[in-house]
Amino acid sequence: MKKASFEDIVPGDKREYTVHVTNPTDEEITALLYAADAMPALGGGKDFTLPSDPDTGSAAWYRAPDRSITLKAGETQSFTMEMQIPDSVEPGQYVSVIGVYDQSMRESAARKIGLRVVLNYKLDEAKPPEAVPHAAVYTLENGADFWMDRLT
């Protein structure tokens, strides 16, 4: 399964991303599929915003609304998210996450998982520190990202 998506972009392009979500539990699960902004985790590592947080980065480029998804025990479903790249993109790297948030697990650290989407535009012309947000640096230092196909 694809762990992360790294792509070069062109201003004004439209993108579609398909994610596959698996419920590994013995019970039906209802969760929220949403676009999130990547950010560094407290204490180091990677994290991303919650569904209730405002989209201030490239997560605002997604045109698919947040939606509730239900998976039966052991079921895998595919979902598509659409993105519109703005016409006025500045050179740099833009990192977002297609997230899955399980509201029934409020106290669990595993309540959200996601697929990181890293979009590059004229990186050789990018001017730090605005060009590469901290979340993107974590992605690049690790060389690859992860896709967890578990909701628990």
Tens digit of each residue's pLDDT (9 = 90 or more) over 27-56:
998 999 999 999 888 888 888 998 989 998
Q: Which residue has the higher pLDDT, 89 or 146?
A: 89
For 34, other C-beta atoms within 10 Å of its C-beta total 27
Q: Which residue has the higher pLDDT, 113 or 16?
A: 16
Which residues sit opposite 36 in a β-bridge?
A: 97
Confidence of residue 69 (pLDDT cuts 50, 70, 90): very high
What mean pLDDT is reported for the chain? Answer: 80
- 149: part of which helix (H) or strand (E)? none
- 71: part of which helix (H) or strand (E)? strand 67-71
Task: Tell me the three state secondary structure of residue 73.
Answer: coil
Tens digit of each residue's pLDDT (9 = 90 or more) over 109-145:
557 888 899 999 998 888 765 544 544 443 333 444 4
